[in-house]
Amino acid sequence: MMIKNGLNKCLQKKFIVNNKLFYSSQAKPTRDSSYAIINNNDIEHFKTILDSHSIITDASEIDGFNQDWMKKYKGNSNLVLKPKTTDQVSKILKYCNDKKIAVVPQGGNTGMVGGSVPVHDEIILSLSNMSKIEKFDPVTGVVVCQAGTVLETIDSYLSPMGYTVPLDLGAKGSCQIGGNVSTNAGGLRLLRYGSLHGNVLGVEAVLADGTILDCLSTLRKDNTGYDLKQLFIGSEGTLGIITKVAMITPPKPTSVNVGLFACQDFNQVKTVLSRAKSQLGDILSAFEFMDRPCIDLVLKHQQVQDPFDEKSPFYILLETSGFNETHDSEKLNSFLESIMAENLIIDGSLATDSKNISAFWKLRESITESLGKEGAVYKYDLSLPIEQFYSIVELMRAKFNDKANVVGFGHVGDGNLHLNISTPKKPYSKEIFDMIEPFVYQYTSEHRGSISAEHGVGLMKPDFLHYSKSNNSINLMKSIKNTMDPNNILNPYKVLPK
Ligand code: FAD
Ligand code: MLT
Ligand code: ZN
């Protein structure tokens, strides 16, 4: 799926109450006046570092970089810089740090929390021109590439050599590996391959003062003190700009099956999950769920068919990936027999060829795009214990009644719920935000969940961070930020509360 700036006409709009912009129930932060305002001398200086094609000052060209794909967050930058080398990134940051000019790193701009666009007039440092795959070792499966390489490009490069990327997400055609690492993106196969904290072996990053930090190890094992690369994984561009990534990639499975199952209630979904884990074990590669309102939305906006004759409240998309077709089918068939014998599903269908597999995945992967076509969408990305997983969707549905469409889907196999609330054909409204926040965060905190399972904190959630992090943790995060970026030039207003 390809999502590019402006291509996706998702209709979300910022809204104004008492002349303050709101992106959540909190107001947009005011500009920190200690940052310099860029002038012609600065641009002349950047011309000594970059060629003229890599410096964008034309307002209409900058527009797409100033705004996120949901059209929810909009900044006001006058300058986009597109370096091609780590050395250029270093020179740009050194200059910005000396002059106290704020900078926002931008990858594919597919993020969900407003992290990749400026809040005010920060310089946008786009990694798009740094898209070289530098090395691949066919024995270890380690790939090294520049941060701006698009995820799908890496996968297409690896595929003929029998390898694949260890993460997969609906935005793969646009998101970049540097953006994935900076957000610690989860996605559809985390269940199988684990998080980027485990799969990323090394990172090259440029610190706020221009120092190039070479942590680009390609080793699986390296216990030489603090694992510094981990600081950049999930810190959303606030601690440094990732310029290169070394990542371990798994062999590409040769036998893939996808099952779509319908369930009567969420208890059945839970039990099927537990059976899938114990009976399918190493071949289980995805376990996603979606409720019926998600399917209705996808049917409304995409060219897809209702998967079964009867409608059901819940659907599971289960994928197995392995290397021995006979072995995998036997395992899957005996799993199917057992869940049917126990009446854990009311309907089911298996896809073994690539056309049907894609059709099943389309149902799941196009939920986001379909929601975007509806109206303002209020998106929440929560980690919750399985016992409380779906109750929050029911609570919100009861709260909103006919006022909004409340849907639940996501990576149930990883305990990650996507709770989305849409108000068809309506702009964002403070009234709706106030019905959701901080209630959803309080609920999550009460159940020791996380207010951001995979999308990050960005501009949307700094004021709510305390629902998932203790004061001591937030203070330590602030002191790490202060040590690494004392002038606070990197992605200001994001992640950390004031
Ligand atoms: P951006 O959106 O450009 O940036 C994200 C953050 O990283 C920003 O804070 C930015 O400043 C920072 N950043 C970007 N590049 C760098 C760099 N080189 N160095 C330092 N900081 C940098 N996310 C998931 O986790 N799981 C999903 O399943 C998932 N599915 C999605 C499906 C769709 C259809 C869409 C549109 C999005 C989805 N996302 C998902 C969200 C998004 O795609 C991910 O967060 C992705 O990792 C962002 O990558 P990007 O290159 O677009 O980064
Ligand atoms: C997904 O899993 O599809 C995403 O994280 C996108 C979303 O939450 O909309
Ligand atoms: Zn997701």
413 touches ligand 1 (CB under 6 Å)? no
| Residue 23 domain flag | no
Which residues does 161 contact at the CB level (< 8 Å), separation at least 6?
Answer: 136, 138
452 touches ligand 1 (CB under 6 Å)? no
147 touches ligand 1 (CB under 6 Å)? yes
- Distance from CA of residue 156 to its chain's centroid? 20
Domain end among 126, 157, 184: 126
Does residue 93 sit in the same domain as residue 158?
no
Does residue 146 sit in the same domain as residue 199?
yes
485 pLDDT higher than 90: yes
Measured in angstroms, how far is the CA atom of residue 370 from the centroid of ligand 3? 15
Measured in angstroms, how far is the CA atom of residue 473 from the centroid of ligand 3? 25
170 touches ligand 2 (CB under 6 Å)? yes
Which residues does 209 contact at the CB level (< 8 Å), separation at least 6?
Answer: 93, 94, 97
8 pLDDT higher than 70: no
Is the backbone peptide bond immediately before 438 cis, with ω within 30 degrees of 0?
yes
Domain end among 76, 105, 126: 126
Measured in angstroms, how far is the CA atom of residue 239 from the centroid of ligand 2? 25
The confidence band for 24, taking pLDDT boundaries of 50, 70 and 90, is confident
**How crowded is the C-beta side of 390, counted as CA atoms within 13 Å?**
15
307 touches ligand 2 (CB under 6 Å)? no
Does residue 108 sit in the same domain as residue 143?
no
Residues of the chain above pLDDT 70, percent: 96
At 27 the pLDDT is 80
With beta carbons less than 8 A apart as the criterion, state whether 24 and 17 touch.
Answer: no
Does residue 234 sit in the same domain as residue 313?
no
19 pLDDT higher than 60: no
- Please provide the average confidence, as pLDDT, over all residues in the chain: 94
Measured from the Cα of 243, ligand 1's closest atom is 18
Does residue 227 sit in the same domain as residue 310?
no
| Residue 150 domain flag | yes
Q: Ligand 2: which residue has its CA nearest to atom 9?
A: 368
Which residues does 7 contact at the CB level (< 8 Å), separation at least 6?
Answer: none
Does residue 166 sit in the same domain as residue 243?
yes
For the CA of 183, the nearest ligand: 1
Residue with the two structure tokens 């705004």: 67
Exposure string over 354-379, b if 16+ CB within 10 A, otherwise e = eeebeebbebbbbbbbbbbbbbbbbb
At 25 the pLDDT is 75
Does residue 182 sit in the same domain as residue 205?
yes
| Residue 422 domain flag | no
| Residue 453 domain flag | no
* β-pair partners for 377: 422
| Residue 460 domain flag | no
- Distance from CA of residue 8 to its chain's centroid? 17
At 375 the pLDDT is 82
Measured in angstroms, how far is the CA atom of residue 439 from the centroid of ligand 1? 26
pTM: 0.96
| Residue 119 domain flag | yes
At 60 the pLDDT is 97
Which CATH number do you get for residue 243? 3.30.465.10
Measured in angstroms, how far is the CA atom of residue 192 from the centroid of ligand 2? 18
pLDDT 10s digits, 333-352: 999 999 999 999 999 999 98
Domain that holds residue 79: 32-126
Angle at 141 between CA 139 and CA 145, to 5 degrees: 130
| Residue 169 domain flag | yes
Measured in angstroms, how far is the CA atom of residue 97 from the centroid of ligand 2? 35
What are the C-alpha distances in Å from 113 to residues 23, 293, 401?
9, 24, 26
At 215 the pLDDT is 98
At 21 the pLDDT is 64
pLDDT 10s digits, 319-338: 999 999 999 999 999 999 99
| Residue 449 domain flag | no
13 pLDDT higher than 80: no
Domain end among 126, 157, 185: 126
The confidence band for 84, taking pLDDT boundaries of 50, 70 and 90, is very high
Measured from the Cα of 364, ligand 2's closest atom is 3
Does residue 117 sit in the same domain as residue 145?
no
At 11 the pLDDT is 30
Measured in angstroms, how far is the CA atom of residue 96 from the centroid of ligand 3? 34
Tell me what the mean pLDDT of segment 77-98 comes to. 98
Measured in angstroms, how far is the CA atom of residue 418 from the centroid of ligand 2? 7
106 touches ligand 1 (CB under 6 Å)? yes
Q: Count of residues for the chain? A: 498
pLDDT 10s digits, 228-266: 999 999 999 999 999 999 999 999 999 999 999 999 999
Which residues does 287 contact at the CB level (< 8 Å), separation at least 6?
Answer: 191, 273, 276, 316, 317, 318, 319, 411, 412, 413
Q: Provide the H-helix boundaries in 34-73.
A: 40-49, 59-66
Does residue 241 sit in the same domain as residue 261?
no
8 touches ligand 1 (CB under 6 Å)? no
Does residue 232 sit in the same domain as residue 261?
no
Which CATH number do you get for residue 353? 3.30.70.2190
Structural domain count, the chain = 3
368 touches ligand 2 (CB under 6 Å)? yes
Residue with the two structure tokens 């001398």: 41
Does residue 152 sit in the same domain as residue 222?
yes
Does residue 107 sit in the same domain as residue 143?
no
172 touches ligand 2 (CB under 6 Å)? no
At 20 the pLDDT is 56
Rounded Cα gap, residues 52 and 82, in angstroms: 10
What are the C-alpha distances in Å from 32 to residues 17, 47, 241, 265?
21, 27, 21, 50
